[in-house]
Chains A and B, each alone.
Chain A
Amino acid sequence: MKADPANADLAINPVLVEEILVRFIRNEVTRTGFRRAVFGLSGGIDSSVVAYLAAKALGPDQVLAVTMPYKTSSAETLRDSQTVVDRLGVQTLAVPITAQVDAYFAAQPGASQMRLANKCARERMTVLYDQSAAFEGLVLGTSNKTELLLGYGTQYGDLASAINPIGDLYKSQLRALAAHLGVPKEILDKAPSGDLWVGQTDEGELGFTYADVDRLLVLLVDRRWQPAQLIENGFDAPFVERVLKMIRRNQYKRRLPVIAKLTHRTMDRDFRYPRDWWT
């Protein structure tokens, strides 16, 4: 067996995926008694796809896209977010987070870039959950499968949401879905970036491309290839090992906190009810 160079394993039928995800948003929002949804819009592919899907699922006036720029956020980010809002006619709100983030770090001299980036992500999360109450809408997640597997996100920050329509799609698959949905070309063409600091790109920070890592992840995770087989079939050994380590090391971000077990029924261990209990 050869690793498939044509990316057949990453192929999706975007029409089918759209059908499922639009229904997913409508169903999971309305079954809890809500009619509306709130999410953070960055002007990147992931949040733009969520915007398109949510507008279709709930109607544009039932969807609030919140932009939350920090002082270093690029003009491109704001411009692309505005393009999405204008095209879809969704409701929008700008909540700059510079004042609160800077007020906190004024008393934390020497904080690293990583701490600043995580703080910004968590600040945005608190804004979204507050707007969730104000707008009476559920918070939609915008983390994709690649990020969730690699742990490339902030726990209780951008990883936090009520429901996530795109968490089972790799970045490359999201790109195909975005093109099908009509996400503007300038958004499809730009380098993916968390806009964490000036000039930051995901691929620059990760040290590999989404195309390469998605090809590896889909075989490893979805097709259950063993790492040794992947290396035999041409994947770079240090690359495979690095990705495996990232997946393992970040497992905690994908789970609720560990609870010390004392009784016969402990939350989420043997007190097992579905999230959609009684809906």
Chain B
Amino acid sequence: MATHAAQPMTQPAVEPSPPSAELRVALAQIDPALGDRQRNLAMHLEQITAAKAAGADLVVFPELSLTGYFLRDMVPEVALHRSSLEIAQLIEAASPMAIVAGFVEEAPGHQFFNAAFYAEAGRLLHVHRKVYLPTYGLFEEQRYFSPGKRFQAFSAARLGRVGLLICEDLWHVSAATIMQAEEVDVLICVINSPARGVDGPMVRTAETYQMLARTYAQLLGVLVIVVNRVGFEDGLCFFGSSLAAGPDGRLLAEAPAFDPALTIVRCDLADLRRQRLITPLARDEQLLLTIEELERIKRRRYES
């Protein structure tokens, strides 16, 4: 990653730049089998092999990629501990490439989380537990999952500061705000979004994700990666259309709608520095003001 340390005035300006700013991200838009972890593990291993062959630095699978989405009473039956052999096998197979994949996490106390992990070079670096569990319309996640309690970024070797979100998390502005405060460079959001709204040129929910990704990419000055699945479950059509958006808000790549695909996106991480010089929104962000205002609102809404 580019660093942002100021240069002393007397020295000639040297552009700080990483040895290689090109990042290759593989968007693994798969069609997981519902509740069949073994089949899904095999599917992941195939994609990992293909992503490595394409020279990817990172492969990203969708939300709940090891289990499928509409699990209902299968949730406890397909759950894994984060130290499970299956996850270890994936991390090992991907190494040294980085990997993001989704699973049902069983935590001590028999709580179940809709979770995604990030690993690189054979090491598990982070697990995000989905905070916002949609429970309205066709969704019933709070019936089965406990909500995560943190939006916490982490530092990765090639990507810099990384934020990991799951699906509905991205619809809450607060998640993006916290990630900005966490000084992320790359925001990865894994999703399982079913198609709704068929009156436009593309599925309406796909349009919304594209809008959210591009908006946050531009406002935060980060690389945003969104990976969705494809296929059907009980009539729900997962629309694919995985994407990457650059820090200027432009689409860098878009995977096909509806069909499985491994899409390789080439991103120039040096764009982040250039974009933050052009529009230094993150620099000017008044975090303490935000915190003070939120504290004031907290007193008014929760303590009076």
Q: CB within 8 Å of B: which residues of A? A: 11-13, 16-17, 19-20, 23-24, 27-28, 31, 163, 271-279
Contact = CB atoms under 8 A, between A and B. Distances in A.
B59 to A, nearest CB: 25
A16 B73 contact: no
Contacts of A275: 234
B74 interface: yes
B72 A276 contact: no
B234 A24 contact: no
B258 A19 contact: yes
Interface residues of B, number: 24
A23 B232 contact: yes
Q: Which of B34, B232, B237 has the most CB of A within 10 A?
A: B232
10 contacts: A13-B200, A13-B201, A16-B203, A24-B237, A273-B73, A274-B70, A274-B71, A274-B74, A276-B234, A278-B36
A169 to B, nearest CB: 9
A276 B237 CA distance: 13
A218 to B, nearest CB: 11
A12 B201 CA distance: 10
A27 B231 contact: yes
Contacts of A273: 72-74
A274 B231 CA distance: 15
Given A27-B231, A28-B232, A276-B232, A20 B70 contact: no
Given A20-B237, A27-B232, A28-B232, A12 B73 contact: no
B199 interface: yes
A278 B36 CA distance: 6
Interface string B67-83: 00011111000000000
B34 A277 contact: yes
Contacts of B35: 277-278
Interface string B226-266: 00000111110100000000000000000001100000000
B72 A274 contact: yes
Interface string B109-137: 00000000000000000000000000000
Contacts of B33: 278-279
Contact of B235 (A16, A24, A277, A278): A24
A24 B235 CA distance: 7
Contact of B198 (A13, A27, A31, A276): A13
The list of the 7 closest CB pairs from A to B, nearest first, reads A272-B72, A27-B232, A11-B199, A274-B70, A274-B234, A272-B73, A275-B234
A56 to B, nearest CB: 14
Contacts of B201: 13, 16
Nearest to B144: A272
Given A271-B73, A274-B34, 14 more contacts: A13-B198, A16-B201, A19-B257, A20-B237, A23-B237, A24-B232, A27-B232, A272-B73, A274-B72, A276-B70, A276-B234, A277-B35, A277-B74, A279-B34
Nearest to B232: A27
A11 B73 CA distance: 37
Nearest to A11: B199
Nearest to A19: B258
Given A274-B234, A276-B233, A20 B36 contact: no
B198 A16 contact: yes
Contacts of B235: 24, 28, 163
Given A274-B233, A276-B234, A12 B34 contact: no
B178 interface: no
B202 interface: yes
B258 A23 contact: yes
B195 interface: yes
B291 to A, nearest CB: 37
A27 B198 CA distance: 19
A273 B73 CA distance: 6
Contacts of A276: 34, 70, 232-234
Interface string B189-221: 000000100111111000000000000000000
Contacts of A27: 231-232
B238 to A, nearest CB: 10
Contacts of A28: 232, 235
A20 B34 contact: no
A12 B74 contact: no
